[in-house]
């Protein structure tokens, strides 16, 4: 268990120790609907060890801190989304698994003295000033993170006890375990292959029509929108006196460094703004007339909407018969009414024919490729493509990098020295493994060794927790 307080003002996490047993076996405890807000403050009892509401709340907060630092945009998640992650459940599982080990410690006579707790806290650099433990800093950090010193020191004591228990179990890999883990990764095959290319297969028109009749619901047209639209723009050249009046009414819009600019210097912009406002007034009149049915513009149907992304999104969410208020568009304004919306129109057989022909052609080619591969497999010789291993990267016989990787993966996953597989195209590839050795050099051996150690630790932790659950009763106090 990792004990945390966030080292940084309100996100401060004080990390003092890391237990070598990472037995966060979430899912080992059976869960129903629990309510842990109990007056007694107890949420569970494991053997002789009780788990309090305070401990659960603290562990829950620590996990939230870890999630917020490791998951992008975690802080943007809603309360419902955070709850769905099951963080409180994971927190309780951690505490239950710790309690199982504490019960084992009691039976083994293990313990932690007050002097060990003091020494552990004093050696933490987070509580030191000028290289020495500073009691004031210690209390200040605990207070900022809402920790009572007694609760924090109990947590230190608990973790030190868990470290003592973990020291009883083997952590390192034995040479035999390491070799057994690495052995499959050193395997390399020497392989011959033959690539079978597809042939064009004649298709009967009645087969295409029969397929269409069975699957016509899969061939929907894009949603269509029938719109009545009015585009209003004004490009008049009003008298300068009219523009001057407009300028005087809106002088605060034409400032530079906080001071109004001279009318003559902003005349062009004033004319554009005046025309735009005039167009908006006309558009509002057209909007009201269209809404009342007093005018009926020509309509047009679109499957690809021609407006800006913002306007297109508004159209997609409209109800039939709805009229949108004027929206700025093309140096003017547009007023739109949704006359009809069709989401269920199907493509005719003629429109869908090319796609259907491609599907049936591929199916027929795959069938013929399988038949040809089975016939050739017993006697094929193929060409030698050299040694393959699980780290393979490259292009085999111009198959492409991705299909080549899929071929190598297929060969290593199947326990047969020869066979065939189908790749995109479609293509069939016959293969024959005619030699093997375990001489492939592993480039990331240190990383893999660490992975093997972690897997071993997880297996031991899981087995230990499962055994202790049989030994010590776990009681959840829940409503």
Q: Summarize pLDDT for 81-91 with one digit per residue, the tens.
A: 888 888 888 88
Query: Is 161:112 a contact under the CB 8 Å cutoff?
Result: yes
Residues 302 and 366 in one domain: no
User: At which of 281, 307, 342 does a domain end?
Assistant: 342
What does the pLDDT read at residue 41?
Answer: 65
310-334 average pLDDT score: 90
103-124 average pLDDT score: 87
With pLDDT > 90 as the criterion, what percentage of the chain qualifies? Answer: 23
Residue 465 has pLDDT above 50, yes or no: yes
Please list the residues that pair with 259 across neighbouring strands: 256
What does the pLDDT read at residue 136?
Answer: 87
Residues 424 and 316 in one domain: no
What does the pLDDT read at residue 147?
Answer: 77
What does the pLDDT read at residue 340?
Answer: 92
What does the pLDDT read at residue 366?
Answer: 95
Residues 47 and 153 in one domain: yes
User: At which of 342, 372, 387 does a domain end?
Assistant: 342
Show the DSSP H helices in 109-145 as ranges: 114-122, 135-144
Reduce the DSSP state of residue 328 to 3 states and report it.
strand
Tell me whether residue 138 is in a domain.
yes
Residue 441 has pLDDT above 80, yes or no: no
Query: Is 16:3 a contact under the CB 8 Å cutoff?
Result: yes
Residue 203 has pLDDT above 60, yes or no: yes
Domain that holds residue 310: 221-342
Residue 314 has pLDDT above 70, yes or no: yes
Question: pLDDT band for position 478 (50/70/90)?
Answer: low
Tell me whether residue 183 is in a domain.
no
Q: Is the bond preceding 408 in cis, omega lying within 30 degrees of 0?
A: no
User: At which of 315, 342, 369 does a domain end?
Assistant: 342
Identify which has the larger pLDDT, 177 or 277: 277
448-461 average pLDDT score: 75
Task: Provide the whole-model pTM.
Answer: 0.51
What phi and psi, each to the nearest 5 degrees, are found at residue 285? -65, -40
Residue 386 has pLDDT above 80, yes or no: yes
Per-chain mean pLDDT for the chain: 81
Residues 275 and 369 in one domain: no
260-270 average pLDDT score: 77
279-289 average pLDDT score: 88
CATH number for the domain that contains residue 166: 1.10.4030.10
Q: How many structural domains compose the chain?
A: 4
Tell me whether residue 444 is in a domain.
no
């Amino acid at each position: 268990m990792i004990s945390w307080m966030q080292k940084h003002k309100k996100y401060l996490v004080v990390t003092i120790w890391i237990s070598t047993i990472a037995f966060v076996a979430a899912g080992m405890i059976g869960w129903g609907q629990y309510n842990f807000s109990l007056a007694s403050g107890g949420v569970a009892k494991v053997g002789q060890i009780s788990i309090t509401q305070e401990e659960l709340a603290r562990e829950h907060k620590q996990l939230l801190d870890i999630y917020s630092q490791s998951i992008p945009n975690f802080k943007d998640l809603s309360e419902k989304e955070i709850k769905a992650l099951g963080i409180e459940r994971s927190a309780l599982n951690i505490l239950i698994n710790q309690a199982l080990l504490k019960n084992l410690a009691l039976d083994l006579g293990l313990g932690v003295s007050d002097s060990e707790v003091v020494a552990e806290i004093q050696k933490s650099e987070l509580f030191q000033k000028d290289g020495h433990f500073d009691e004031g800093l210690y209390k200040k950090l605990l207070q900022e993170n809402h920790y009572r010193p007694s609760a924090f020191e109990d947590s230190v004591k608990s973790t030190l006890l868990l470290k003592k228990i973990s020291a009883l179990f083997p952590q390192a890999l034995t040479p035999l375990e390491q070799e057994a883990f690495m052995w499959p990764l050193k395997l390399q095959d020497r392989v011959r292959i033959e690539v079978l290319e597809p042939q064009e297969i004649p298709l009967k028109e009645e087969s295409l029509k029969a397929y269409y009749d069975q699957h016509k619901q899969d061939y929907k047209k894009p949603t269509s929108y029938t719109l009545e639209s009015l585009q209003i723009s004004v490009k008049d050249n009003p008298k300068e006196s009219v523009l001057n009046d407009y300028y005087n009414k809106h002088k605060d819009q034409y400032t530079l460094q906080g001071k109004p600019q001279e009318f003559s210097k902003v005349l062009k912009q004033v004319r554009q703004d005046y025309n735009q406002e005039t167009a908006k007034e006309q558009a509002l009149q057209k909007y009201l007339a269209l809404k009342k049915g007093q005018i009926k513009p020509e309509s047009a149907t679109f499957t690809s909407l021609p407006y800006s992304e913002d306007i297109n999104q508004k159209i997609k969410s409209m109800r039939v018969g709805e009229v949108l208020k004027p929206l700025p568009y093309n140096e003017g304004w547009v007023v739109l009414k949704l006359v009809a919306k069709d989401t269920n129109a199907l493509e005719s057989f003629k429109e869908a024919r090319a796609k259907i022909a491609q599907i049936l052609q591929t199916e027929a080619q795959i069938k013929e490729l399988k038949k040809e591969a089975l016939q050739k497999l017993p006697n094929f010789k193929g060409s030698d493509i050299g040694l393959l291993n699980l780290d393979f990267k490259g292009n085999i016989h111009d198959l492409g990098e991705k299909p080549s990787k899929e071929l190598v993966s297929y060969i290593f996953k199947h326990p047969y020295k020869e066979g065939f597989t189908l790749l995109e195209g479609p293509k069939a590839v016959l293969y024959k493994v005619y030699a093997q050795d375990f001489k492939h050099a592993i480039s990331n051996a240190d990383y893999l060794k660490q992975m093997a150690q972690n897997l071993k630790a997880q297996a031991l932790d899981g087995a230990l927790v499962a055994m202790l659950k049989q030994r010590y009763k776990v009681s959840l106090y829940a409503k």
